[in-house]
DNA sequence: GCTTGACCTAGAGTCGGCTCTACTTCGTAG
DNA sequence: CTACGAAGTAGAGCCGACTCTAGGTCAAGC
């Protein structure tokens, strides 16, 4: 174990649900807001801030933002103040896509629910017949 | 052009938004409810029913059902009456997954909306300052 | 002093879902 | 008759996002 501010890659994996492989992959892909510190033996030492950032990245990924776009966003954040408008653009664009995704998903859900209803009725009617015999 | 009940693969591609490649791929994967008919020269001839089925498959795919599971469902339908309970199970399970997906997506949306709001405020405040100068 | 386990790197492999290539066969238009 | 376009087949290739392998370092415990 490391001191209370420093977490090993294994601990971060536990806390975020990502695999250690994925964590190294994300770092290589440049989607960590700050350079990960290294401890003795070249081991990665993560902070709570890294975890917070990762959790946001996980949200972005879950909602379908591709890794390269997360990288672009990360780079803006790394560059510091002055590019908030660009960050906002990326987020708004993604928001739009997520919105569309949700609409689509709802349409699918409606169809599935309709079919489930139909099959349920049918199955029930068969069961009723069997009982009524 | 074929007579009014028969559609070529190109026409089906247009009508469904799938590529002709995807249509052949779907057929090879066994996710067409009925064997596609063949016309002169071995060309595929689709019916309106095929299109309807494809549209449903598209919905299932869009909502994340993997091809092998669509195939399982398709096989049940092809087998005909008597397995409605199994079909219902597949649909219900998928419904559950879609439901979870929607919840997750909503969570992501909430975070994104929160961030967009924050950045918007910030950007507005900068703009206001610039005007006020 | 040897094993174990968590970590390191570089790079190869996997998986799903198409997408594309190469080559052939038609039917129609010029 | 030649060319074109749309179709056919079999199978290779691609892309994204991991995931895993091989081979190595190092500290702690037996």
Sequence spans of domains, chain A: 1-80
Q: Which of B53, B45, B57, B60 is nearest to B98 (CA)?
A: B60
Pairing of β B37-38 and β B44-45: antiparallel
pLDDT digits (tens, 9 = 90+) for A19-72: 999 999 999 999 999 999 999 889 999 999 999 999 999 999 999 999 999 999
Cβ(A109)–Cβ(B63) below 8 Å = yes
Cβ A24 to strand C below 7 Å: yes
CA distance B61 to B10: 21
How far is the alpha carbon of B121 from chain A, nearest alpha carbon, in Å?
A: 10
- For domain A1-80, the CATH class is mainly alpha
Dihedral (C-alpha) B119, B117, B124, A82: value to the nearest 10 degrees? 0
pLDDT digits (tens, 9 = 90+) for B119-131: 999 999 999 988 8
Sign for the CA dihedral angle at B58, B64, B67, B71 comes to negative
Q: Inform me whether the pLDDT recorded for B5 exceeds 90.
A: no
Q: pLDDT value at position B4?
A: 57
Q: pLDDT value at position A1?
A: 42
Q: pLDDT value at position A3?
A: 45
Residue to test with chain B: of A89, A112, A126, most B Cβ within 10 A: A112
**What separation, in Å, do the N-terminal and C-terminal C-alpha atoms of chain B show?**
69
Mean pLDDT of B3-18: 87
B23 C-beta neighbours (distance < 10 Å), count: 21
């Amino acid at each position: 174990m490391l001191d209370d501010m420093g977490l090993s890659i294994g601990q971060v994996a536990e806390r975020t649900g990502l695999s250690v492989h994925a964590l190294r992959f994300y770092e290589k892909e440049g989607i960590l807001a700050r350079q990960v510190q290294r401890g003795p033996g070249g081991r990665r030492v993560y902070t709570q801030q890294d975890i917070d950032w990762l959790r946001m990245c996980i949200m972005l990924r879950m909602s379908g933002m591709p890794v390269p776009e997360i990288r672009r966003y990360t780079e803006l954040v790394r560059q510091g103040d002055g590019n908030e408008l660009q960050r906002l653009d990326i987020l708004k664009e993604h928001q739009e896509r997520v919105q569309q995704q949700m609409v689509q998903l709802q349409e699918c859900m409606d169809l599935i629910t309709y079919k489930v209803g139909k099959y349920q009725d049918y199955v029930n009617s068969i069961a009723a017949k069997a009982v009524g015999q």
